[in-house]
C-alpha cells in the first residue's frame, strides 16, 4: 500500500474522554503513529481545524453539540486535503452513506477489532478508502446500479487496474512502477477516471466507483 511506512499524526474528535484515551493508547502502543490533537465538541474542532497539524481525523458522528455528518462537509471545505475516518457506534445505512457522501474517506464502527482500527487509520491516512466489513453490504446494496450515462466511454482494463490501486492509496509514482508505465501515462488514466466519474478528488473518485458497482471493497 502506498506510503504504508509513513508516521501519521492523528486527530481524535470524540466527546467521551475515556474513548479518546483508549484510542490514543491503542494507536501509540500498537503502531508507530501518534495522537497530536483531541477535541470533545464540534465547536472545539471547528476552531482548531484551520491550524491543526495532522494527517488524519478520527471523527465520532454523534457529539453533544451537533451531528458529525454535516461537520464532515464543513471540515472538507476548510481542509480539503485532510482525510476523515468516521468512527461511530451507528451502522445504519443512512449514517454510512451520509458520511461517505459528505466526504469521509472511511467508515468504521466502534465495535471493530484493534486490527481493523489500525488498518483503517493506515489506509485512510495514506490516501485510501476504508469501509468496515460490518457496513459494506449497505454500500453495495444501495449502489449496484451501472453508470447512468450510457454515452460514457467504457473503462479499459488498465484504467480499472489503476482505479483499484488508487483505492489502495497508491501515489502516481507507485502506480507507474507497479504497471511499468510512465508517471505521465498514469496521470492521463487518472484524469480520464476523474472525468468518467465526475469526481472532485481521489476519495470521491473511489466512492463514485463503489456507487457504480465498478470497484469492490473488502
pLDDT in tens, 156-209: 888 888 988 888 788 899 999 999 999 999 999 999 999 888 888 888 888 888
Task: Measure the CA–CA gap between 102 and 215, rounded to whole angstroms.
Answer: 19
Q: Do both 27 and 110 map to the same domain?
A: yes
- pLDDT, residue 214, reads 76
Say if residue 28 is in the same domain as residue 131: yes
Any idea what the CATH number is for the domain that residue 90 is in?
3.40.50.2300
Does residue 159 share a domain with residue 104?
no
Same domain, 130 and 178: no
Is 68 part of a structural domain of the chain?
yes
Question: 3 lies in a domain?
Answer: no
Is position 1 within any domain?
A: no
Residues 107 and 132 in one domain: yes
In the numeric block, which cell numbers belong to residue 31? 503502531
pLDDT at 39: 96
pLDDT reported for residue 60: 96
Position 2 pLDDT exceeds 50: no
In this prediction, residue 1 carries a pLDDT of: 41
190-199 contact pairs (CB < 8 A, 24+): 190/162, 190/166, 192/159, 193/155, 193/159, 193/162, 193/163, 193/166, 196/147, 196/152, 196/153, 196/155, 197/147
- Boundary-marking domain end, from 109, 141, 173: 141
Which domain does 53 fall in, by range? 9-141
Count Cβ atoms below 10 Å from residue 179 Cβ, excluding itself.
Answer: 15
- List Cβ<8 Å contacts ≥24 apart for 102-107: 102/69, 102/70, 102/72, 102/73, 102/76, 103/72, 103/73, 103/75, 103/76, 103/203, 103/204, 104/59, 104/72, 104/203, 105/129, 105/130, 105/203, 106/130, 106/131, 107/131, 107/132, 107/135
Q: Map grid coordinates 485532510 to a residue.
A: 82
28 with 66, same domain: the answer is: yes
- 89 lies in the same domain as 44: yes
Residue 99 inside a domain? The answer is: yes
Greatest CA span in the chain, whole angstroms? 53
**pTM of the predicted protein model:** 0.68
Local confidence band at 148 (pLDDT 50, 70, 90 cut-offs): very low
The mean predicted confidence, pLDDT, of the chain is 85
Within-domain flag for 71: yes
120 and 60 co-located in one domain? yes
For residue 39, the Cα-to-chain-centroid distance in whole angstroms is 20
- The grid cell for 137 is 453490504
- pLDDT of amino acid 90: 81
Q: Are residues 34 and 117 in the same domain?
A: yes
| 131-150: burial string, b at 16+ Cβ within 10 Å, e else | bbeebbebbeeebeeebeee
**Residue 87 belongs to a domain:** yes
How many folded domains does the chain comprise?
2
Q: Are residues 180 and 120 in the same domain?
A: no
DSSP single-letter state for residue 49: G
| Rounded percentage of the chain residues whose pLDDT exceeds 90 | 50
Examine the domain organization and report whether 177 and 100 are in the same domain.
Answer: no
Pick the last residue of a domain from 89, 117, 141: 141
Amino acid at each position: 500500500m502506498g506510503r504504508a511506512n509513513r508516521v501519521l499524526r492523528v486527530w481524535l474528535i470524540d466527546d467521551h474522554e475515556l474513548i479518546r484515551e483508549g484510542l490514543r493508547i491503542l494507536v501509540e502502543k500498537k503502531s508507530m503513529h501518534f495522537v497530536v490533537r483531541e477535541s470533545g465538541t464540534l465547536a472545539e474542532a471547528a476552531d482548531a481545524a484551520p491550524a491543526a497539524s495532522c494527517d488524519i481525523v478520527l471523527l465520532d458522528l454523534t457529539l453533544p453539540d451537533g451531528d458529525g455528518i454535516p461537520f464532515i462537509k464543513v471540515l472538507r471545505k476548510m481542509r480539503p486535503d485532510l482525510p476523515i475516518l468516521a468512527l461511530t457506534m451507528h451502522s445504519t445505512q443512512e449514517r454510512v452513506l451520509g458520511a461517505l457522501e459528505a466526504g469521509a474517506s472511511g467508515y468504521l464502527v466502534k465495535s471493530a477489532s484493534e486490527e481493523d482500527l489500525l488498518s483503517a487509520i493506515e489506509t485512510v491516512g495514506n490516501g485510501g478508502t476504508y469501509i468496515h466489513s460490518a457496513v459494506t453490504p449497505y454500500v453495495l446494496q444501495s449502489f449496484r446500479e451501472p453508470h447512468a450515462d450510457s454515452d460514457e466511454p467504457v473503462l479499459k482494463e488498465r484504467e480499472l487496474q489503476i482505479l483499484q490501486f488508487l483505492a489502495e492509496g497508491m501515489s502516481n509514482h507507485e502506480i507507474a512502477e507497479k504497471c511499468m508505465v510512465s508517471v505521465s501515462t498514469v496521470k492521463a488514466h487518472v484524469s480520464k477516471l476523474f472525468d468518467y466519474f465526475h469526481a472532485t478528488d481521489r476519495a470521491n473518485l473511489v466512492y463514485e466507483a463503489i456507487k457504480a458497482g465498478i470497484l469492490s471493497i473488502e
